[in-house]
Chain A
């Protein structure tokens, strides 16, 4: 199971826990994890990435295992500990504003 940590506004929107566990078919990448997230929680479509281009929304960041994966290619493999379910893939609302 792949663990994904969601920011509080998206937890409220999805009526989910902070960390959700998803069945994701390999390869485990940013794209396949977000596809699985949106399939399980359709209300999250468009909230982390554009529905047409699939590009990350500007104020959303992705982290895992201490790495900033925000600008990683969507089809790059995620870190091994995320694949093993030991660490969560973090969806984070960027700090912006004063």
Chain B
């Protein structure tokens, strides 16, 4: 398991029983690790986004599963005219690179990976991270002046690579929404029809929605699940149309959403109370599972604190493994990493005192 935190990276290892975990780290102590992830094509190759408010963006790569690291390219240069986006006060502000939020390695080439950055843009490397080139068609889609930062910044935080249609890339930006490309990222179209965001002057606008995370099962890439700033949504046509599946969830807010490794209609969210409080409703940390692709949800509480719990679970801080039964994992802003080795039925902490967790990824080797 690859854990990115506010103060470094940690690598946790276990066998297939997933009962005993050994914690290795911190790597890059003192630096924010927004995302740490591995290549599906070569699991020993890891990429990490290392960030500091003082010293900026550093990119790290490992070719031996995190035993050793080397710095790679960190020059994220917007292509062509920079343009402007909306600022919090409604004024226009030029695009400016802040940090890499999310890394998505290619499904089949260890040297290729995508980086979602703040201010929102998509970059690609084809040389193992030595150089990064923007895919400018997204930022230059034309709707940029209507994009705006969410509370955490105007970040491109989700990148879905379609395993069946290799030209298709789906991304999400807070707060612009979902965009889809069918030509390897050259041209893009908004995919937000059906989203409703009452905070917007036009609640059903083409762009401007605060999408927190989207997820898909690799066997059914046209079915997408979304945790939005408000509501959990579903699309069955690759994002062309969305409908709400929040059902009986105890709140309409949250950050991560994941799909079970072997059950494409089983999804998980962690409801959070409102957009201002950012902690679990009633102080009870509950993962909610739907086995029907939404609308009908059950609370999973066994092993999770059910009183006085006021942590948050951020958008990149939940993942699933490929074992059977499926392992589900999430990290909290309180530094706990919780794991379930039985589809979410029961949970236990496998790390309890880490810095605030920004991201978790798991590799099944």
Contacts and interface: CB of A to CB of B under 8 A. Distances in A.
Interface of A: 7, 9-10, 12-13, 42-43, 45-48, 50-52, 57, 59-60, 93-94, 96
Interface in B23-70: 29-31, 52-58
Contact of A13 (B53, B58, B75): B58
Interface of B: 29-31, 52-58, 71, 74-75, 77
A85 B71 CA distance: 30
Given A9-B31, A57-B56, A59-B55, 18 more contacts: A9-B30, A12-B29, A43-B71, A46-B56, A46-B57, A46-B75, A47-B56, A50-B56, A51-B75, A51-B77, A52-B77, A57-B55, A60-B54, A60-B55, A93-B54, A93-B55, A96-B53, A96-B54
When A and B form their complex, which 8 residue pairs have the shortest distance between CB atoms, in order from nearest? A43-B71, A47-B55, A59-B54, A93-B54, A51-B75, A46-B74, A46-B56, A47-B56
B58 A47 contact: yes
A18 to B, nearest CB: 16
A42 B58 CA distance: 11
Given A9-B30, A9-B31, A45 B75 contact: yes
Contacts of A43: 58, 71
State the majority secondary structure of interface residues on A.
Answer: loop
Contacts of B77: 51-52
Interface centre among B29, B71, B77 (most CB of A within 10 A): B71
Contacts of A51: 74-75, 77
Contacts of A93: 54-55
29 contacts: A9-B30, A9-B31, A9-B52, A9-B54, A9-B55, A10-B55, A12-B29, A13-B55, A13-B71, A45-B74, A45-B75, A46-B56, A46-B74, A46-B75, A47-B56, A48-B55, A50-B56, A51-B74, A52-B75, A52-B77, A57-B54, A59-B53, A59-B54, A59-B55, A60-B54, A60-B55, A93-B54, A94-B54, A96-B53
Contacts of B31: 9
A45 B59 CA distance: 11
Contacts of B74: 45-46, 51
Nearest to B70: A43
